A and B are shown apart, each in its own frame.
Chain A
């Protein structure tokens, strides 16, 4: 009863095909947009921005990217950290080489460069599948981190080997560097998240998305229908890496400010984003958001409970936090292997009838 579909008829294919075909969903989506763009910037503070919301938004972009590759196209990748590093270092080199160009353009270009790198590392996918491909992309991860560590040109020969983001502004408002307001950080990430989700949704619902999913579900049948496997797999790697590159660039410029490649973009980052994809739900844009939120929020929540409410010592709480997150992931995957997106789908099914049994 709360969640009504009855009486919601479609009279054109375009209406039947829209992202939120049910009126209730559509209204909820518009309210969410208004709150995200119109309310949150005015109430956000440094703690919320730094601990929760900005990392959530940035990881949401990376998760959407990886979800396109794994969830939609079925190509396993463990190179996410390396590709994020490409985005970060590309944006760093561009920002220092062309300081007069807007940072927005730099971030987009960084995404483009990462897309090219991703496509290059995606070439083996034409020959190898599944776990073997995962190992090949793992090689990409280690190679890229090694490259950014060993070639001083990438970090402009700085003594520490670190890269740090110079101060940049959009419309006269600082978005990077030490003097930046929480709401400005939030807004630039939000704009990128919104654009990424919108683009990803459009790409996955059209011809391209269908050819990706066809390759994922049955590659032989896909080929017989006319899907060029080379094109489908490489575009998936390209689009996926584009989003991951943007996430890497934002993580470095807006969130971290300074980064050392092994620490910020190591293998653990690849796994973190992979967990977000799996927990959120493969092949779902909503799931990408849910997974990112789960993995970012849960440690913060646990820390607040253990240290804040139960007065545990910080180091003990930190260890237990890892244990609990790990256990929860396992428990969760056993209970709902298709992720939060599936949980949401089931909840919607139930809500259609609630509170009546039939």
Chain B
């Protein structure tokens, strides 16, 4: 059992004996409104380095909005986002990407006209620095860089076991594989923090098992911190270290899966409250 206190910067040890580092990201009193609608109301939580952090909640609870705040699509009216011990100023999504935050989308957002290889190569964009001139004549840095990064991308392709579809346009791939390619594209950036928006939505049991395995392997092999939104409670309870529960834009629970499951408010939100 962990001995961590809230907002601590020291790590903790998980049930299965993994050492988790200090806080990598901290959301402080985030409030996000769209006109009169309050999507997120005064929510704070933290993500520790190396852990798998799940955000759960019923539909419309504000989970995806929270992910969009982290990745820079939405700018909250109130509250602060801290990353790597620094307060993050208001940033555009591509600047957030350069900080080392990558993500996947609820509805697959791959580049349909490009091959698997090109999709994952695009994920390494923030790491490739060759100038336009060098690229135009394909000499020196551009050509060298292309080969180095291809090497890295091939490692990811091997890791995700998608060697056979390397050159296939992703539009032609089945759903489960597309999800995997999207994970590969996010991994290619070698992110410090990986955000997964419903990585298992619409999958059958085997595909869910595959995806869970990949998520655990990513965390284990690369030490990547992962924050994920998921509806399948079985999966969430199995793979995540700590869980945030949201309902109607508010945080109603935060803790280990066991703690969250025992929380009365969480049970009420999921199963409904009896009114007698």
Q: How far is the CB of B35 from chain A (nearest CB, A)?
A: 21
* Shortest Cβ distance from residue A287 to the other chain B in the assembled complex, whole angstroms: 13
Please tell me if the beta carbons of B135 and A203 are within 8 angstroms of each other in the complex.
Answer: yes
Q: Does A217 contact B (CB under 8 A)?
A: yes
* Interface of B: prevailing SS: helix
Chain B's interface size range is 35 or more
Chain A residues, CB < 8 A from B138: 202, 205-206
Q: Is the CB of B125 within 8 A of A227?
A: yes
B98 at the interface (CB under 8 A from A): yes
Question: Is B113's CB within 8 Å of the partner chain A?
Answer: yes
- Interface positions, chain A 223-259, Cβ under 8 Å from B, are 223-229, 235
Contact A13 B109 (CB under 8 A): no
> Does A77 count as interface, using CB distance less than 8 angstroms?
no
How many residue pairs link A and B with beta carbons under 8 A? The number is 106
Q: How far is the CB of B194 from chain A (nearest CB, A)?
A: 12
Answer whether residue B63 sits at the interface, using C-beta atoms and an 8 A cutoff.
Answer: no
**Which of B71, B92, B113, B128 is the one whose CB lies under 8 Å from A216?**
B113
| A118 contacts partner chain B, Cβ-Cβ < 8 Å | no
For A218, the chain B residues whose CB sits under 8 A away are 109-112
In residues 73-128 of chain B, which contact A (Cβ within 8 Å)?
73, 92-94, 96-98, 102-103, 105, 109-114, 118, 121-123, 125-126, 128
A213 to B118 alpha-carbon distance, docked (Å): 10
Q: A13-B151, A207-B130, A214-B111 are in contact. Are A228 and B142 (CB under 8 A)?
A: no
Question: Which residues of A64-100 are within 8 A (CB) of B?
Answer: none
Q: Are B128 and A224 in contact (CB under 8 A)?
A: no
B251 at the interface (CB under 8 A from A): no
Q: Does A34 contact B (CB under 8 A)?
A: no
- B142 near A206 with CB under 8 A, answer yes
Whether, in the assembled complex, B261 has its beta carbon less than 8 Å from a beta carbon of chain A, the answer is no
- Asked whether A207 lies within 8 Å of B123 as measured between CB atoms, the reply is no
CB distance from A239 to the nearest CB of B (A): 8
Say whether A17 contacts B121, CB under 8 Å.
no
Cβ-based interface call for A210 (8 A): yes
CB-CB nearest in chain B for A200: B136
Beta-carbon contact of A206 and B110 below 8 Å? no
B137 interface neighbour in A199, A207, A283, Cβ under 8 Å: A199
Query: A178-214 vs B: 1/0 string, CB under 8 Å?
Result: 0000000000000000000001001101111011011
Question: Are B146 and A210 interface neighbours, CB within 8 A?
Answer: no
Contacts of A14 in B (CB 8 A): 143, 147
Residues of B within 8 A of A (CB): 71, 73, 92-94, 96-98, 102-103, 105, 109-114, 118, 121-123, 125-126, 128, 130, 132, 135-138, 142-143, 145-147, 150-151, 154, 185, 189
Q: List 23 A-B contacts (CB under 8 A).
A: A13-B147, A13-B154, A17-B147, A202-B142, A203-B132, A203-B136, A206-B138, A207-B135, A207-B145, A211-B122, A213-B113, A213-B122, A217-B110, A217-B113, A218-B109, A220-B73, A220-B109, A221-B105, A221-B109, A224-B93, A224-B109, A225-B185, A226-B125
Which A residues are closer than 8 A to B by beta carbons? 12-14, 17, 199, 202-203, 205-208, 210-211, 213-214, 216-218, 220-229, 235, 283
